[in-house]
């Protein structure tokens, strides 16, 4: 393994049973990419080398190389919150913010939603975002790999929340009218497996709501975080939806989940037919993409940009 990757792992505190590999683009499968940002924050105002690349074909931004799945499962279960907040226990303000964001989201999507339905929140943390839906009679289920936050949410909110990586979700087929992934899709190990599981669990004519915040929030802060495996734009969220069988019906930078996630972008998709590789490429060629030149210029102010 490259010395800079070992330095990163030592900083995180997980060095055993870890491997790394270079990956093709998770959206289009393209192998050609360029490093656009070389240095990211790795916690407590410390910075280290962890390359972020842009796909030359579709402009998808993602960390490359990537570690094995076991590393990320251990990290998100035991280390993630500790490195972010200095304590593994949730705080009341965090939970209240989740509840408020859920209320904003419900009101933002109300015109598209059934009066009552079934909600899946992937990467729900303590589950507060589901509360406004549950209070309106929705049946809710949340999943998250952080066992401490899951237990806190179950105890405080009395909601159904399960501790597991998103890739390991065991979901009822066509079981949910609305699936929400607010920020968490930028953290998962295998984005395509997660979306495939969600598509199978989505009801006919059901909805998928994805929030991406890592890209714009990084630009606001002046650096990227090591916690994000990918940095989603409106275009790349749309492409992922089309690839897995949702048709985007709303794409916006408006604060659909409220004001506490500055820079977040949102796409709402309705279940339909998945695009094959050729049809997806036509979408890319038709302009649903980011160019490397445009991305390089946009990322130029970031610490570590090349």
CATH number of the domain encompassing residue 196: 3.40.50.150
- What pLDDT is attached to residue 84? 57
Tell me the pLDDT tens digit for each residue of 94-103. Answer: 899 999 999 9
Q: What angle do CA 268, 104, 264 make, to 5 degrees?
A: 55
Residue 116 lies in a domain: yes
Number of folded domains in the chain? Answer: 2
Residue 296 lies in a domain: no
Q: Is 204 in the same domain as 264?
A: yes
- What pLDDT is attached to residue 12? 86
Residue 297 lies in a domain: no
Residue 171 region by backbone torsions, left for phi larger than 0, else alpha for psi between -120 and 50, else beta: beta
- What pLDDT is attached to residue 88? 57
Residue 105 lies in a domain: yes
Q: Is 82 in the same domain as 107?
A: no
Of 87, 117, 138, the one marking the end of a domain is 87
Residue 236 lies in a domain: yes
* Residues 34, 226: Cα–Cα separation, whole Å: 18
Tell me which residue has tokens 């009395």. Answer: 158
- What pLDDT is attached to residue 89? 61
Tell me the pLDDT tens digit for each residue of 254-267. Answer: 999 999 999 999 99
Residue 37 lies in a domain: yes
Peptide bond into 65 cis (omega under 30): yes
Q: Is 42 in the same domain as 73?
A: yes
Low-confidence ranges of the chain (pLDDT < 70): 81-90
pTM of the model: 0.95
- What pLDDT is attached to residue 226? 93
Residue 198 lies in a domain: yes
Q: Is 31 in the same domain as 139?
A: no
- What pLDDT is attached to residue 148? 86
Q: Is 113 in the same domain as 239?
A: yes
- DSSP label at 225? B
Q: Is 43 in the same domain as 112?
A: no
Range of the domain at 148: 92-289
Q: Is 8 in the same domain as 135?
A: no
- What pLDDT is attached to residue 266? 98
DSSP symbols for 272-297? -PPP-HHHHHHHHHTT-S--HHHHHH
Q: Is 115 in the same domain as 205?
A: yes
Q: Is 122 in the same domain as 163?
A: yes
Q: Is 51 in the same domain as 77?
A: yes
Cβ-contact 77, 147 below 8 angstroms: yes
* Residues 294, 223: Cα–Cα separation, whole Å: 18
């Amino acid at each position: 393994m490259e010395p800079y990757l070992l330095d990163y792992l030592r900083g995180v505190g997980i060095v055993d049973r870890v491997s790394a590999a270079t990956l093709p683009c998770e959206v289009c499968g393209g192998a050609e990419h360029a490093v656009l940002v070389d240095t990211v924050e790795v916690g407590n105002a410390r910075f280290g080398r962890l390359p972020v690349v842009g796909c030359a074909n579709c402009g998808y931004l993602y960390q490359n190389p990537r570690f094995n799945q076991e590393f990320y499962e251990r990290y998100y279960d035991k280390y993630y919150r500790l490195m972010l907040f200095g304590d593994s226990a949730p705080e009341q303000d965090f939970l209240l913010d989740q509840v408020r964001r859920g209320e904003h989201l419900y009101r933002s999507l109300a015109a598209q939603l059934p009066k009552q339905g079934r909600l899946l929140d992937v990467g729900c943390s303590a589950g507060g975002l589901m509360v406004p839906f549950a209070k309106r009679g929705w049946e809710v289920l949340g999943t998250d790999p952080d066992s401490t936050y899951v237990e806190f949410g179950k105890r405080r909110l009395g909601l159904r929340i399960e501790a597991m990586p998103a890739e390991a979700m065991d979901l009822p087929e066509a079981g949910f009218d609305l699936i929400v992934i607010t920020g968490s899709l930028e953290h998962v190990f295998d984005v395509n497996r997660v979306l495939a599981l969600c598509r199978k669990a989505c009801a006919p004519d059901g909805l998928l709501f994805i929030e991406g915040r890592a890209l714009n929030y990084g630009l606001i802060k002046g650096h990227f975080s090591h916690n994000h495996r990918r940095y989603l734009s409106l275009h790349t969220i749309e492409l992922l939806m089309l690839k897995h069988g949702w048709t985007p019906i709303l794409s916006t930078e408006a604060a659909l989940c409220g004001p506490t996630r500055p820079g977040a972008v949102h796409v709402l998709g309705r279940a339909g037919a998945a695009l094959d590789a050729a049809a997806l490429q036509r979408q890319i060629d038709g302009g649903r993409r980011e160019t490397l030149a445009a991305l390089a210029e946009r990322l130029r102010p970031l610490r570590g940009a090349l």
